[in-house]
Structure 1
Amino acid sequence: MFRVIVRSSISLAAFAAGFPLSAAEAANAAATSEEDSIVVTATRAPLALDEVPSTITVLDKAAIDRSQDIGATELLLRTPGITVSRNGGYGTTTSLRIRGAESDHTVVVIDGVKLNDPAASGGGYNFGHLLVGDMERIEVLRGPQSILWGSQAIGGVVNIVTTIPEKPLEGSFDIEAGSRNTVSARAAIGGRTGPLSWRIGGQSFTTDGISAISPAFGGVERDGYRNRGVTGRAELALASNFSVEVRGYYSKARVNLDSTRADTPDYAFNQEFLGYAGARLDLLDGRFRNRISYSYTATERENYGPLRARPVSLEARGENRRWEYQGNIGLMRGVSAVFGAENERSQFRSRSPDASLARPLPPFANGKAEVTSVYGQISVEPVDGLTINGGVRYDDHDRFGGQTLFAAGGVWRLPTGTILRTNYGEGFKAPTLYQMFSQYGNAALDPEEAHGWEAGIEQHLFGRALTVVATWFDRTTTNQIVYTPDATCNAASTNPLCFEPGSTTVRTAYYLNVARGKAQGIEAAAALTLGALTLDGNYSWIVTEDRSPGGANFDKDLPRRPRHAANASVSYALPFGLDIGAALRWSHKSFDDAPNSIVLDAYTLVDLRAESKLSENVRLFARAENVFDEQYMTAYRYGTLGRAIYAGFRGRF
């Protein structure tokens, strides 16, 4: 159905990694052959595609268009090692896990800026509101990546790149409609003239949706969703070696909700904002590149229950402010280094008012944290075909002191078309502000830590018409923070954790460092191109277990993580301009709870797609999702999208 490029990008890769190329350099990069492509996500500096030891999957613009997906989650779910759970239809809470890691162990980056919510319980990112919009490319980097991407990158990184213009004036549009009164429209326009390049895009999405609670549990009413967003970026070259750039992203969404057991008229608002300003200076004939930037992100959430005496049930806002310097230097032939310094300040406020007006409105729980970091990574090619790199990072957290992390890896490219790679990385995630300062907070928490390694082989055959990849990975996470109920808490308790921070209010749950997790498995993928026929597929075997010593759930599978998952797709381009394709998604059973008492059954989904070329610039497309109307759940009691049909037009000029 679409082509997945494993390990490398084929276009514009340098824009994403927080060390952007100029518009002219990006255009040149896009014109290179696949063998000479540039990938920057893993190292935050340009490297040939076969010189990166970490496992990367890249979805380029052609793949994004062919998939016809509205949400980024659907695209990501088709790649190896990714599992997703969602509390209903579009817009509901959506958790993405890489190689079985916790959902908040994934760093999400949009145009080089990390986007997470410090007011969320795990401080992570809700993928439920991430639409495809003006995305040019999506990169998935697996395994611990905290050396270059900082806290939270224990599972991996999802890096999103919006489109950068190449022509004096260019644009695009997509409009489609279909089942459940779903309408999606997006458009963008931009250009590059002399020293200035710019682009702005927007998207609107509405749907009547499905019942968030599964019909099997009494869900009847539809829970609708709407999302409107805009992205923009501009770059100005003030000299041949000096440029400045600004970027922005904003979205506002409204989704109807249900309780965990019944239909309700509840609803929620979600707003996300990202702003970036940076400057770049190249020295030593471009061999020494420097970037300094400032970014700001904010996520605001509000939940409402119209039937409550006090309608507002949640108010939360999380903010990040981040200064960064990054340098990249070519020391000599075959030796390069990337290094930098960062300062990140985060803060949150949150409260959950009681429904009864008899109880006073509680004050906001507030908290802030600051971390200053330095990092460096060096890459060496001692002999032709062999690349070795190593890195170190030091984080100085204002609450947890210093933490030093290491990483190392290597890639060996053989003349037989075989590539061998191995990589080791460490992760570190400080407790979130919510985990420390909310009504369930515990200021005495320790950071979560992880270490993992991987080893893989990639084989190209028949002039790269066939590519086969297999990777083994292993990761251990310690000091995991878990929401812990405590039925013994009462007003006479001597345990200080039985009371909300700074008050005498009794609580019956709090956060503790009580968990240890183990994940290991195999990812395998293959892609074959035979003229107009393209076949690809992947399989993931992921064993994630609770390894908490003495715990009641020792050796149990971690919730909502199927051990087996597979994807396959086929696409054929007919000579008269019609492309047809099909995709299959199979997921093994999983468990919804820690004791493994609630089973989420296995399921198989089949999608069909077609696309017809109306002119050089305009295409008509249609697709059918979940053709056989499979009934399944990725989270217990919550519904999933059944059969749906969509059609629309796409234009690129």
Structure 2
Amino acid sequence: MKYTLKQTLLCTVALVPTLAFAQADDTIALSPIMVYGGLLPTTLAATGATIEVVDAEDLKKSGPGVADALARLPGVSLSANGGLGTRSTLRVRGLGSTYIGVRVDGIEVTDPSSTQSSFNFGTLTAGAVNRVTLIKGTQTAIYGSDAIAGVVDVETWRPVVEGASGRTTLEYGSFNTGTATSSVGFMDERVELAFTLSRVQTDGFSARSSDTEKDGFKQSSANLYAAYQVSDALKVGVAGLWSDSTVEFDRSTTDSSGVSDETRAGLRAFAEYTQGAWVHELSVSQFRNNRYDAKGFTKSFIGERLKAAYLGRVELSPATNLAFGLDWTKERASLDGTEYEASNKAAFAEAQFTLREDLELSTTLRYDDYTDFKGQFSGRAALAWHTTQATTVRASIGTGYRAPSLYERFGPFAGGNLAPETSTSLDLGVEHRIGEMATLRATAFYTEITDLIDFDFATFAYAQVPGKTVTKGVELSGDYRVTDRISVNGNYTYTFGESANARLTRVPTHELIVGADFDVTDRFTTGLQITRVAGVVDGFGTATPLDDYTVVDLTARYDITDRANAYFTVRNLTNEKYETVRGYNTSERAFYVGVQADF
């Protein structure tokens, strides 16, 4: 990273406490967090789906990468081919990024030109992100293809005070890593406006363990959200995103010259009309991903997605809500100038019932008509039963599918006559609250995929894996407030994954995370987290075990004022040497310090 960025960060830090006093508007009282575990909004308490929420405070504890914060959740793991910006795969209940839908402010950001139409979580930095919602389990009936494992929904910064407001975050740390983010916005009864600029840059460390040269990463990004209440009945809005990045990587054990440039741009416009109990929403969105690797086997990857959708919602009675809609999607991939495309038309509906005061049920059905494939039905049912005021039982069952990506069908290693993958998933969980002091959760899960598509080294092409691919296991989590100033938390996940009678690679059999937070004073908080991972195998052909490892992280935060704080993070405190992908390095002990101010 250039000295000029470091100098800018250090100089600007001195100004942040002053910025915190530039605005003194009262904070607007916010409603309880609403989530979309389906087509209809609901609360975390009422949904039958398994949903996790990561907020801005959680993100600050994990350094510049959002994926590191997500990996702390039960049932979630991360493997990376190096440091920030390199290829990073998030796994939910043993299934990788290929099976995870990703949306940023409602814009689908998976790359239609990538080998298996996925999103690179290594490029998702925390600067502009306000909240991340993870919906686990098959969500195909709601979101369509590529959501067999779940959906990651990212929301960027929004204003929370009337009038003009903003937020500035500056962070600097190991590997010469600097992040600068500034958000400005405006909100009143009719207008909501937010704009964020962010820059992250790092010298990094060597991606492969076979050499010592540094593999850096730099990315500039911008996010926009604007909504206007034209009348009591009509609301219109737009969301946009843009990023431009360059990452260095090691091509092989003997070639460390890899450089990839990537630009993303997306725009979504919507109009929402309310008439009595009815709400109608029309939206259109476009996303483009342009990736270039001058020395790659395939040098240019350009992916485009155009989508139009209608969603209607109606409250039929106090106990019954209905949603229904249509969408049309066209995806295009250009591989070294040769273009391929596919389209899909879908119809879907969801009914949400409050059967009793203690029992909520939602059912969803979707039909997709893909280019060159037969029509496909998918469905989901989710139940939430509040057996007592303190205990909730959740259960869901769903069917899903994943259509072959354009690269799998038409790329240089295309497989012949590929069919869509199909899946069935189930989960059953219970949550119990012990007064205001503790919460315990346990969830068992099972996912079965038929006709999984993978790269076949025997034919050097993509092919269907015979038989069934299964992931199953259990998630346990809990938190306990020991005193007014001390709280502890933890989660454990057991996952068994098998395909064609072989273990799934890079999937931890056991993952244990325990942590504690200490409110040392009213303004100073510190925390400790220990992560233990065991039972991972990796390798091509016959997979062999990776070493088990334990990583310790330390965090601290000091509230300078009510609207400004400084924070400090130590990642890998004990300097553990470990791998999540065979032959690739992970971060050694790393320090990050940051300051954030709302104004």
Alpha carbons 1:395, 1:403 under 8 Å: kept: yes
Alpha carbons 2:240, 2:268 under 8 Å: kept: yes
Which residue, 280, 289, 299 being the options, matches 1:299?
Answer: 289
Q: Which residue does the alignment assign to 2:110? A: 116
Q: Which residue does the alignment assign to 2:231? A: 239
Q: CA deviation at 1:101?
A: 1.3
Q: Give matches, 1:193-208, under 5 Å.
A: 193-208=188-203
What is the SS of the residue equivalent to 2:409?
Answer: helix
Q: Which residue does the alignment assign to 2:452? A: 480
What is the SS of the residue equivalent to 1:614?
Answer: strand
Which residue, 522, 533, 537 being the options, matches 2:490?
Answer: 537
Q: Which residue does the alignment assign to 1:16? A: none
Aligned mates of 2:245, 2:319 — CA distance in 1:
48
Which residue, 509, 517, 522 being the options, matches 2:460?
Answer: 509
What per-residue deviation string (whole Å, max 9, x for no partner) do you get for residues 117-144 of structure 1?
1111101111111011222211111110
Q: Which residue does the alignment assign to 2:148? A: 154
Q: Which residue does the alignment assign to 1:86? A: 80
What per-residue deviation string (whole Å, max 9, x for no partner) do you get for residues 409-456 of structure 1?
211102341101111011111110000111111351100010011111
What is the SS of the residue equivalent to 1:73?
Answer: helix
Aligned mates of 1:193, 1:54 — CA distance in 2:
33
Do residues 253 (structure 1) and 238 (structure 2) align? no
Alpha carbons 1:117, 1:124 under 8 Å: kept: yes
Q: Give matches, 1:221-232, under 5 Å.
A: 221-232=213-224
Q: Give matches, 1:261-410, under 5 Å.
A: 261-284=253-276, 287-305=277-295, 314-351=299-336, 364-410=337-383
Runs of 4+ aligned structure 1 residues displaced above 3 Å come to 594-597
Alpha carbons 2:170, 2:179 under 8 Å: kept: yes
Q: Which residue does the alignment assign to 2:433? A: 460
Q: CA deviation at 1:114?
A: 1.6
Alpha carbons 1:557, 1:594 under 8 Å: kept: no
Q: CA deviation at 1:576?
A: 4.8
Alpha carbons 1:213, 1:262 under 8 Å: kept: no
Aligned mates of 1:60, 1:633 — CA distance in 2:
28
What per-residue deviation string (whole Å, max 9, x for no partner) do you get for residues 151-191 of structure 1?
11000011111122232111111111121211111110101
Specify the code of the residue in structure 2 equivalent to 1:567: I
Specify the code of the residue in structure 2 equivalent to 1:483: F
Aligned mates of 1:587, 1:434 — CA distance in 2:
33
What is the SS of the residue equivalent to 1:148?
Answer: helix
Aligned mates of 1:193, 1:135 — CA distance in 2:
22
Q: Which residue does the alignment assign to 1:611? A: 557
Q: Which residue does the alignment assign to 2:23? A: none
- Greater RCO, CA 8 A, separation 6+: 2
Specify the code of the residue in structure 2 equivalent to 1:260: S
Aligned mates of 2:496, 2:142 — CA distance in 1:
27
Aligned mates of 2:87, 2:128 — CA distance in 1:
22
Aligned mates of 1:647, 1:47 — CA distance in 2:
37
Alpha carbons 2:172, 2:179 under 8 Å: kept: yes
CA RMSD of aligned residues (A): 1.6
Q: CA deviation at 1:194?
A: 4.7
Q: Which residue does the alignment assign to 1:584? A: 530
Specify the code of the residue in structure 2 equivalent to 1:472: A
Which residue, 122, 129, 132 being the options, matches 1:128?
Answer: 122
What per-residue deviation string (whole Å, max 9, x for no partner) do you get for residues 465-505 of structure 1?
2110000011100111111134xxxxxxxxxxxxxxxxxxx
What per-residue deviation string (whole Å, max 9, x for no partner) do you get for residues 553-611 of structure 1?
x1x21011011111122111122511111111111131113654332111111111111
Of the structure 1 ranges 172-181 and 189-198, higher mean CA displacement relative to structure 2 is found in: 189-198
* Alignment CA distance shift 1:588-1:622 (3 Å): same
Q: CA deviation at 1:102?
A: 3.1
Do residues 185 (structure 1) and 137 (structure 2) align? no
Q: Which residue does the alignment assign to 1:175? A: 170
Specify the code of the residue in structure 2 equivalent to 1:85: S
Q: CA deviation at 1:378?
A: 0.6
Aligned mates of 2:525, 2:254 — CA distance in 1:
43
Q: Which residue does the alignment assign to 1:597? A: 543
Name the TM-score, length of structure 1 as normaliser: 0.85
Alpha carbons 2:429, 2:441 under 8 Å: kept: yes
Alpha carbons 1:213, 1:263 under 8 Å: kept: no
Q: Give matches, 1:3-18, under 5 Å.
A: none
What is the SS of the residue equivalent to 1:298?
Answer: strand
Q: Which residue does the alignment assign to 2:18? A: none
Specify the code of the residue in structure 2 equivalent to 1:440: F
* Alignment CA distance shift 1:115-1:511 (3 Å): same
* Alignment CA distance shift 1:652-1:596 (3 Å): farther
What per-residue deviation string (whole Å, max 9, x for no partner) do you get for residues 294-342 of structure 1?
011111111134xxxxx88611101100001111111101111121111
What is the SS of the residue equivalent to 2:67?
Answer: helix
What is the SS of the residue equivalent to 2:293?
Answer: strand
Q: How many residues align?
A: 570
Aligned mates of 1:263, 1:595 — CA distance in 2:
23
* Alignment CA distance shift 1:38-1:188 (3 Å): closer
Specify the code of the residue in structure 2 equivalent to 1:368: E
Alpha carbons 1:451, 1:477 under 8 Å: kept: yes
Structure 1, unaligned runs of 5 or more:
1-26, 306-310, 352-363, 487-507, 549-553
Q: Give matches, 1:542-581, under 5 Å.
A: 542-546=495-499, 548=500, 554=501, 556-581=502-527
Structure 2, unaligned runs of 5 or more:
1-26
